[in-house]
Amino acid sequence: MTRNKGYRNKSRSLLTKAPRESGLPPPSAFIKEFEVGSKVVIDIEPSVQKGMPHRRYQGKIGTIVEKRGRAYVVKVPMEPEDRVIVVRPVHIKPFG
């Protein structure tokens, strides 16, 4: 069997920024507040590794279940059952 190639395998185009967009996001992105039950889109911010979800969740729509420390618990509907992931607010944005 071949070995696992890592958590960020095949993510070069997904987790890179254009030169003009490089650097950290503004401080307001780190302290965004969301209500429990609100819908959010998982939008990975490549320059911040803390609280980053796996790339398979990029662009998925989920529901906030609870706040856990500085992060949020997001329920993402997937087959065969829903996934629950912990994501920091810099990696999510409101849906709609």
Domain that holds residue 78: 24-94
Collapsing DSSP to helix, strand or coil, 91 comes out as helix
Return the higher-pLDDT residue of 1 and 94.
Answer: 94
- The 10s digit of each residue's pLDDT in 31-90 is 999 999 999 999 999 999 999 999 999 999 999 999 999 999 999 999 999 999 999 999
Residue-wise pLDDT for 15-29, tens only, equals 999 999 999 999 999
Residue partners of 26: CB distance under 8 A and separation at least 6: none
CATH number at residue 34: 2.30.30.70
pLDDT band at 2 (very low <50, low <70, confident <90, very high): confident
What is the pTM assigned to this prediction? 0.91
Residue 57 lies in a domain: yes
Residue 81 lies in a domain: yes
Number of domains in the chain: 1
54, part of any domain: yes
